Structure 1
Amino acid sequence: MTKEVPQIAFLGIGLMGAPMTRNLLDAGFPMTLWNRTASKCAPFASEATVADTPADAVRTADVVITMLENSDVVEQVLVASGAMEAIKPGALIIDMSSVQPSVARRHAALAAEKGAGYVDAPVSGGTLGAQEARLSIMAGGSEENVSRARPVFEVLGKCTRIGPVGAGQLAKLANQAIVGITIGAVSEALLLAARGGADPAAVREALMGGFAGSRILELHGQRMIDRDFAPGAPARIQLKDMRMILDEARAEGLTLPLAQQVHNEYLSLVANGHSDSDHSGLLLELEHINGARLGESAPRLKSGPKE
């Protein structure tokens, strides 16, 4: 007997949610979609049901996926809108947004009161990873609930169970700390080399073959060289993540100097009007404070005639 395919409600059809929805539909999952800006659901209207409210979207769903911008939006959509009350017993909530670990634990408790399961499953890989179905999915929840979610995760990328509820969000914070700090390091390295007269593209190519090679240097280093700051992951989202990292560090009695410095740089970047630039646009803030531009060599002082 063929196992019944679960009905999915997907809340949040944005930069990440749209390609994830495409992959789930292509895999044959019946879906109901909701997005605050309803027009973003339009490309899928012939293949999925489009709901007017989050509560309407989740009412008959076996699996509810949220992919929203931050903790406040998840709270509004999942709880304040009445969606949590409308979820049927036995359903599984999978929050793939990046939220505070404490928020994930609270939402898991609310789900349990409704007889529903809960997994926090933030992702890394950006819009390209979402399109190519190779997201890194960091799951927090019971082994049973993560196992229930795996057929969905397998369509979207690779899942690693990190631990209990909230652990997925902790792993995402660790990921974003490395991403944000490394973007800062790549920005500084390329600007330093270019300012001294080196070709930043050649520097990137050389470094890719050595110990400094990384996915950030590969992808975002190229973005910096091309000055392509169209958002894959907007700077405002990276700033939000850096703020959550520092909040979690304070709650655990930790001081994270590198994370603090990078947070401050993203704060300035956003304040200077680049909130919707890609997070690799941190280079723009570095250029701003130095009065220098990547690819422009520093003027050289001419030596006088030798005596």
Structure 2
Amino acid sequence: MSDKHVIAYVGLGIMGRPAASHLLRAGHELRVYARRPEAMEPLAELGATPCKSAAEAAEGARFAFTNVSDTPDVEEVVLGPGGYAESLAAGSVVVDMSTIAPQAARDIAAALAAKDVAFIDAPVSGGQAGAEAGTLAFMCGGAEEAFAAASPLFEIMGSSHVLVGGSGAGQVAKCVNQILIGATVDAVAESFKMARRLGVEPAKVREAIAGGFAGSKVLEVHAKRIIEDDYVPGFKARLHLKDIKIAIEAARGCGVEVPSAEEFRARLEKVIGQGHGEDDSSVAAKALDD
């Protein structure tokens, strides 16, 4: 069996477009669809085939990827009219790189299983920079056989991919990821504000603690944004708000309190209300501004 595949890809935003381009450059045949034709042009210039629907993109595809904003978008692309399910052959695999509710991932997996199509929920961490560099981290839920089949594609787009468990498990891991990032951004914002009030420059504090136990990717990337007051998005605030709401709802559903997630949600809502929805989610730090 050839190690090159026909791959459908829907969701060509700041994450999807660079991720898809890695698959194309690796020699796979890429069929793409976007509501806005201009979104397909950069990939078409690299050799991808633009299509008029997700169903058309999925014709003959072994794998079909989604990288869209929210649960209804995934449901529409995969199961809706003109969606992947209309065209995918038995034995094919749908990989969803979006962040959606864990139960929604399980429901989509069950609907596709009736057609003998596998589904992997594979939300990612790494933002636009990770998508461009091919260093995304994939958190996956689904069957071991489908995960193994898709693993070479994860290796092209990312630096790590882990099968967390069955359907929905990848989305549970992403909920955890988003809570941890949000809580750490809050901690950085609060502690840096304290440092300033005590007459110490946060940039030097960041440098001093980076090599210790407080060092993290958030301290490396988001703290720099906060210090420089530069929130060019790697991951937009409005999308992180969507994700943190999913995490809070999942926690409530199993009776777990997540006060740090609730606090981050409140700060995101405040800054988004001030017009920062398209900025990087670390802009939540501005909720502490006097």
2:58 aligned partner: 58
- Name the TM-score, length of structure 1 as normaliser: 0.91
Indicate how the Cα distance of structure 1 residues 105 and 275 shifts in structure 2: closer, same or farther if over 3 A, else same. same
Please give the residue correspondences for 1:76-115 in structure 2 after superposition, counting only pairs within 5 Å. Answer: 76-83=76-83, 84-115=85-116
- Per-residue Cα deviation, 1:127-150 (whole angstroms, up to 9, x for no partner): 111111111111101111100111
Question: 2:264 maps to which residue?
Answer: 262
Aligned to 2:169: 167
| Cross-structure match for 1:304 | none
Counterpart of 2:155, as a letter, is E
Q: Percent identity over the alignment? A: 38
Which of these residues, 188, 213, 216, is aligned with residue 215 of structure 2?
Answer: 213
Residue of structure 2 equivalent to 1:19: 18
Q: Note if contact 1:12-1:36 (Cα within 8 Å) is conserved in structure 2.
A: no
- Going from structure 1 to structure 2, the CA distance change for 1:232 and 1:81 (only over 3 Å counts) comes to farther
Query: Aligned with 1:236: secondary structure?
Result: helix
SS at match of 1:245: helix
Q: Residue 204 of structure 1 corresponds to which residue in structure 2?
A: 206
Look up the SS of the partner of 2:137 in the other structure.
Answer: strand
- Local SS of the residue matching 1:45: helix
The letter of the residue matching 1:76 is E
- Contact kept, 8 Å, 1:127 with 1:233, in 2: the verdict is yes
TM-score normalised by L of structure 2: 0.96
- Paired positions, count: 287
| Aligned residue in 1 for 2:230 | 228
Q: Which amino acid in structure 2 is aligned with residue 107 of structure 1?
A: I
Q: For the residues of structure 1 that align with 2:140 and 2:254, how far apart are their CA atoms?
A: 21
Alignment of 1:1-80 (within 5 A): 3-46=2-45, 47-80=47-80
* CA shift for structure 1 position 4: 4.8
Matched residue of 2:98: which SS? coil
CA distance in 1, matches of 2:164, 2:122: 10
Q: Cα offset for 1:196?
A: 2.3
1:295 maps to none
Contact 1:55 1:86 in 2 (8 A): yes
> For residues 98-132 of structure 1, what are the alpha-carbon distances to aligned partners after superposition, in whole Å with 9 as ceiling and x for unaligned?
11011111110111111111111111111111111
The Cα offsets for residues 148-202 of structure 1, whole Å up to 9 and x where unpaired, read as 1111111011111100010000001100110011111111111111122211111
User: Which residue is equivalent to 1:301?
Assistant: none
- In the alignment, the residues of structure 2 paired with residue 74 and residue 278 of structure 1 have an alpha-carbon distance, to the nearest angstrom, of 23
1:134 aligns with 2:135: yes
Contact 1:54–1:81 (8 Å) recurs in 2: no
Aligned-partner Cα distance in 1 for 2:149–2:106: 19
State the secondary structure of the residue aligned to 1:114.
Answer: coil
**d(CA) in 1 for partners of 2:78 and 2:37?**
17
CA distance in structure 2 between the aligned counterparts of 1:215 and 1:20, rounded to whole angstroms: 21
Shift of 1:76: 2.1
Q: What secondary structure sits across from 1:238 in the alignment?
A: helix
2:172 matched to 1:195? no
Residue matched to 2:156 = 155
**After the TM superposition, which of the residue ranges 194-203 and 243-252 deviates more from structure 2?**
194-203
Q: Secondary structure at the match of 1:273?
A: helix
Partner of 1:297: none
Contact 1:85/1:114, CA 8 A, preserved across alignment: no
Instruction: Flag the structure with larger Rg.
Output: 1
Q: Distance in 2 between matches of 1:122 and 1:85?
A: 24
Alpha-carbon RMSD across the aligned residues, in angstroms, is: 1.2
Unaligned runs of 5+ in 2: none
Distance in 2 (CA, whole Å) between partners of 1:279 and 1:69 is: 15
What's 2:274 paired with?
A: 272
Could you tell me which amino acid in structure 2 is paired with residue 12 of structure 1? G
How many angstroms does 1:86 deviate by?
2.4
Q: Structure 2: how far apart are the matches of 1:37 and 1:191?
A: 42
Amino acid of the structure 2 residue aligned with 1:239 = L
- Residue in structure 2 matching 1:179, options 172, 178, 181: 181
After superposition, what is the alpha-carbon deviation per residue over 1:15-71, rounded to whole angstroms, capped at 9, x for unaligned? 100110111111111000111222111011130100111111112211000001111
